[in-house]
Amino acid sequence: RKLDKSRQDRLYFDSYTDVTIHEEMIADHVRTNAYRTAILRNSESIRGKVVLDVGAGTGVLSVFCAQAGARKVYAVEACSIAEQAEKIVKQNSLEGTVEVVRGAVETVELPEMADVIVSEWMGYALLHESMLNSVLYARDRWLKPGGLLLPSRAELYIAPISDPVPEDRLHFWYTVKDQYGVDMSCMTDFARRCVRNSDITVSAVSGEDVLSHPARFAELDLRSVTAEELRSVRGKFRCESFGSAAVNAFCVFFTVTFPCSDGERPLLLSTSPFKPETHWKQAVLYLDAPVDVVQDTEVAGEKRQSKTFSIPDWSSEAQP
């Protein structure tokens, strides 16, 4: 009677996930192409320089940096996937350029300082189990003054949404009596409580369920932010409802920005529900009960984002 955690088609146990994680990251075209484009557009800053890749995984970003002309790339990776990175580097004949360094970036010793740090460190809703602390450590320890960070900025957004799934799932318990002759409608209370106690839900929010323009509530300048400041990222937000709906959740997502040395506009990697889906999807924080809004209702509050997630302190007010 052990069951799937969700309605997924396929459930993989144990070590099969080792490869699935990397497969899904590489297969995420939005993510991988954003990094590839950002690295190639910064080749002026990378050519002949030293790059540090923090949490290199399969080493694909390191290979991009080598292809952009780096003199040396240190691909630091603590997990056993580093062995695969070694093989990929060899298969691409880049042993002379990319050096896979097995270990945590907090403990490894590199022979030289880096001109550039590249890292794909973002977790769900940006900071959920993210590697950003390691990147900040690497920045302070191994990046030359004035060195380049890819990406260099992160922004957090929030928007009220009306997600049909929880109501559909709650409604299920009212249908049991018709199906099997047993009244199980009291389970809706339990189901509501489970939703309320859950940590974050990661799901692909449909653009049509988003009830306002997303509001930015926090911005991190990765060149200067400290680990201390990350412990309590917070900010105010204010949205105006597009129309009448029942708000039953907030969705939180992020963007990161890559500066571009080719003089063009900075490159944005967005996980907005209005943009093509990424493997990060969006984080959804459910309310205890839906709140009705009408057009132009102001939904405002303050969102704190730390190791744990919680719904923001917020209120809504219809405009006079």
**Residues catalogued as catalytic:** 120, 129
Q: Hey, is 278 helix, strand or coil?
A: coil
Q: How far is the CB of 246 from a copy of itself (least distance, A)?
A: 20
Q: What is the DSSP pairing of strand 233-240 with strand 114-119?
A: unpaired
Closer to a copy of itself by CB, 121 or 157: give it. Answer: 121
Q: Is the separation of the CB atoms in 255 and 151 below 8 Å?
A: no
Q: Which residues lie closer than 8 Å to 92 by C-beta, 6 or more apart? A: 63, 66
Question: How many C-beta atoms surround the C-beta of residue 43 within 10 A?
Answer: 17
Q: Nearest approach, Cβ of 4 to a copy of itself (angstroms)?
A: 7
Q: How many Cα atoms sit within 13 Å of 145 on the Cβ side?
A: 0
Residue (193 or 238) nearer to a copy of itself, CB: 193
| Residue with smaller CB distance to a copy of itself, 171 or 213 | 171
Q: Cβ distance 52 to 110 under 8 Å?
A: yes
* Minimum distance from residue 19 beta carbon to a copy of itself (Å): 4
Q: Residues 6 or more apart from 274 whose CB is under 8 A from it?
A: 207, 210
Strand, helix or coil at 90?
A: helix
Rounded CA-CA distance 63/68 in Å is 9
CB of 183 to a copy of itself, least distance (A): 5
Closer of 58 and 305 to a copy of itself (Cβ): 58
To the nearest 10 degrees (0 to 180), the angle between helices 82-91 and 60-67 is: 30
Q: Residue type at 251?
A: C
**Least distance from C-beta 16 to a copy of itself, angstroms?**
4
**Nearer CB in complex with a copy of itself: 1/265:** 1
